[in-house]
Amino acid sequence: MKSIEIGDKLPNFILEDQNGNAFNIENELGKSMVIYFYPKDDTPGCTKEACKFRDDFESFSDLGAIVIGISADSAASHKKFEEKYNLPFILLADIDNKVRKLFAVPKSMFFLPGRVTYVIDKKGIVRYIFNSQFGAEKHIENSLKKLKEL
Active site residues: 46
Query: Are 97 and 72 in contact, with CB atoms under 8 Å apart?
Result: yes
Largest CA distance in the chain: 37
Contact 34, 68 (CB under 8 A): yes
Q: Is 106 helix (H, G, I), strand (E, B) or coil?
A: coil
Which H or E run includes 35?
A: strand 32-37
